[in-house]
Amino acid sequence: MLGGGGLVAANVYASATEDGGAEPARTLSSPAGTIDCPDVGSRLTAVPDGAKEDVAKELALLDQQIAEAYQRLQESAQAIQQDAGFADSAIMNPLKDKRTATIERIAIAVDRQGERPEGLESLAPCTLRAADSGDGDQANAGQDQGSGNEAGEEGADQGNEQPGSGGQPGNGGQAGNGPVAADFADITAVQPNVPSPALQKEASRGTFATSCGVNENGLFNSDNVIVAPGVSNGAHHFHDYVGNQANDAFASDEDLANAETTCVDQGDKSTYYWPVIRLQNGNQEQDANSPGGGVEGNAGEIVTPKEVTLTFVGNPRSKVTEMPRLLRIITGDAKAFVNGTANANASWSCTGFEDRQLKDKYPLCPQGSDVVRTFKFQSCWDGQNIDSANHRTHVAFAAADGSCPDGFKAIPQLVQRIVYDVDAPSLQDGGRTTPLFAVDSFPEQLHKPVTDHGDFINVFAEDLMGQMVDCINEGRECGAGAGQGGDPGEEEPSQEPQPTQAPGTPPGGNEEPDPGNGNGNGEDEPTQAPTTEQPAPDPPATDEPVTEEPATDEPATKEPETEPAKDDKPTVSSTVAPKSYGTPSATKAATAPAQGGTADDEADAGSTPAQTQPAAVGDESDAGSGTEPQAVGGGLAETGTTLWPAAGGAVLLIAGFVLLMRTRRRAG
């Protein structure tokens, strides 16, 4: 009887503990603030070929150092409250000394091959942004910019967007580093801010669409082959990939050229990738305990896009020329929250409202309307380089009149449109009723919407690229995805939208119009590759320009703090095999990524990594798979396994009682 009763009690207690365990995952306290470090990579505009590999690894190490310092900052919130000097002595000063040593190695690597860069050492100190300070200096600087300025609004918003302030005290997202209520705005309260493009006489008016799916086969990793080649977890956040299936940090140009592609037209092996969106719903993904995922604050259920349209459009002033093969382009800035908005190019909206774009807010969409992310890529090329040291100077946005900088040529502009079927979160209760959503980010960027960005590598077959250029210059609509898109604002929601207010959140309706000249509202991708060539609508000729350039004003930053600690070399976690996944798995063992190493592993940092190949397109193992969170359960078999201990205990208890009664009768 005692054994049976104990089993029942233990089972009930365990069940109660399990049921209550998921809730705190969404309501961790906010961090003590964030860490603002100058971006060294953006200052390196010329790196000799012989130094590029070493420089890329050292730049990735700088990101790793910031991520580790930010993690210590989160863990030390209580100590910082008790001792104001703790953050400087235990976090900021050691970080400064590590950065000083790493920056010196970058300068030495460049000096060996060419001319030593000057002034990099001044970028070593970082600033601690305290959550309770609200970055008032930046807020004031932003407000002075006036309405309609993207950079000004971002600066103004930073005054109340810090964790622990403005809207969601004590929440701060599933992993404790965002998003917060102030990161959201009601799209119905935003005024239309995307004018119809005005094309000049010689404009290239056609469009070419390619259809590459929505990453339904689940290819993810936290690498970035453009920014951090040869470095695992170089992005510190997960990416969705469509198109080329050889995407990881160790993919060579030859690997990309020989890879499979998810694109309908097999002549397009280009790689298209962007940070995943996650629901802050307490569920755990395959990367929940891994670098780039939950370890670095990227937690929750990954959302597969409902729709992805990839459209190449022309220039509002002139004809376009072919992109060079293997051209790399990054649009937006993954570090815009601390870097400022000079390179920011995020655009958030809702279906039916795409004439209203948000730059630094996630949209709250009315019922029947879906969340939309739009990326418009640079459309001017320097005519020589497929990449540059800072991954930006070889391409540029066209000027307001459509002209390119001196020496640059107009190329087709990629417009990426990604649609998600996610509900507007319940901000009043911190997302408990309907979860918050956010893009993956570097941990210190706090999942801010302004950090959204997209990456592209051109691996079009040369003849298909030629067809694209002819189509665009001749004013036709072509490509396997033709007919899927339209102009912003054309699509109406499936039902009458109901306004969704963001309590305590200003609507943020004065954003700068989105750069570029064209967008698409798409339908589901076709299963075959119909190549259609229809005349594109011919807008009236005009000499009025189209603005394509993102805002370049940058919020003022505080004076950095200084002091020292010791250097570190890349650990195994930053240089070993990439975390590439095929379909997401509900079990940790199935696709467990490489875990981080320690300082003892430094000697192995230069060794050749073992590469993990993603699942092949069409693999039967992918059938019916989706993004299945680890925490999902509740089937009949699972319920039975949790009830067996209690049932066994009950049988023992009853048997003991019957035996006791019979013994008493015989004794009587």
3-class secondary structure per residue, 87-147: HHHHHHHHHHHHHHHHHHHHHHHHHHHCCCCCCHHHHCCCEEEECCCCCHHHHHHHHCCCC
Which band of pLDDT confidence, cut at 50, 70 and 90, is reported for residue 75?
confident
Taken as a whole, the chain contains a residue count of 668
Q: Report which residue type is found at 89.
A: S
- Alpha-helical runs (H) found in 509-599: 572-575
Residue 305 clears pLDDT 60, i.e. is over it:
yes
Q: What is the mean pLDDT of residues 453-459?
A: 98
CB atoms within 10 A of CB 143: 15
Express as a percent the part of the chain with pLDDT over 70.
Answer: 62
Q: 471 vs 150, which has greater pLDDT?
A: 471
Q: Are 510 and 153 in contact (CB under 8 A)?
A: yes
Q: How many other CB atoms are there within 10 angstroms of residue 595's CB atom?
A: 13
Residue 476 has pLDDT above 50, yes or no: yes
Q: Which of 208-222, 226-240, 597-611 has the lowest mean pLDDT?
A: 597-611
Rounded Cα distance, 440 and 334, in Å:
10
Q: Is the pLDDT reported for residue 622 higher than 80?
A: no
In the three-class reduction of DSSP (H, G, I as helix; E, B as strand; rest coil), residue 634 is classed as coil
Q: How far apart are CA 42 and CA 389, in angstroms?
A: 8
pLDDT at 614: 38
What residues contact residue 587 under an 8 Å CB cut-off, 6+ apart? 630
Instruction: Quickly count: other Cβ atoms within 10 Å of residue 396's Cβ.
Output: 17
The more confidently predicted of residues 666 and 464 is 464
> End-to-end distance of the chain based on CA atoms, in angstroms?
22
Instruction: Give the torsion sign (CA, 520, 525, 526, 531).
Output: positive
Does pLDDT of 344 surpass 60? yes
Determine the pLDDT at residue 314: 95
Using left for φ > 0, alpha for ψ between -120 and 50, and beta otherwise, residue 169 falls in beta
Mean pLDDT of 447-469: 97
pLDDT of 606 strictly over 80: no
Say how far apart CA 485 and CA 211 lie, in whole Å.
11
More confident residue, 646 or 106: 106
Report H helices in 162-304: 253-258
Tell me which range, 46-50, 483-487, 652-656, is most confidently predicted by mean pLDDT. 46-50
Average pLDDT over residues 18-45: 63
Pairwise CA distance, residues 373 & 186, whole Å: 15
**Secondary structure letter of residue 437 according to DSSP:** E
pLDDT of residue 195: 76
The rounded mean pLDDT for the chain is 74
CA 207 distance to own-chain centroid: 27
More confident residue, 113 or 386: 386
* Confidence check: pLDDT of 44 > 50: yes
| Predicted pLDDT at 284 | 86
pLDDT for 306 equals 97
> What digits encode the pLDDT tens for the residues 160-197?
333 333 333 333 467 778 899 999 999 999 999 987 76
What pLDDT does residue 495 have? 38
φ/ψ region of 333 (left if φ > 0, alpha if ψ in -120 to 50, else beta) reads beta
Q: How far is CA 67 from the centre of its chain?
A: 16
Angle at 290 between CA 288 and CA 295, to 5 degrees: 75
Residue 562 or residue 131, greater confidence? 131
Residue with the larger pLDDT of the pair 379 and 592: 379
* Mean pLDDT for the stretch of residues 373-387: 97
Residue 142 C-alpha from the chain's centroid? 24
pTM above 0.85, yes or no: no
The pLDDT of residue 114: 85
Q: Quick one: pLDDT band at residue 644, thresholds 50, 70, 90?
A: low
Gap between the Cα atoms of 305 and 276, Å rounded: 9
Q: Are 402 and 313 in contact (CB under 8 A)?
A: no
The pLDDT score that the predictor gives to residue 426 is 95
**pLDDT band at residue 289, thresholds of 50, 70 and 90?**
confident
493 preceded by a cis bond (ω within 30 of 0)? no
Span 501-560, pLDDT tens digits: 433 333 333 333 344 333 333 333 333 444 444 455 444 444 444 444 454 444 444 443
Split at pLDDT 50, 70, 90, the class of 481 is confident
The DSSP bridge partners found for residue 273 are: 241, 455
Local confidence band at 398 (pLDDT 50, 70, 90 cut-offs):
very high
Q: How many CB atoms lie within 10 A of CB 550?
A: 25
Q: How far apart are CA 393 and CA 386, in angstroms?
A: 10
Cα separation of 596 and 387, whole Å?
Answer: 30
Distance CA 302, CA 569 (A): 32
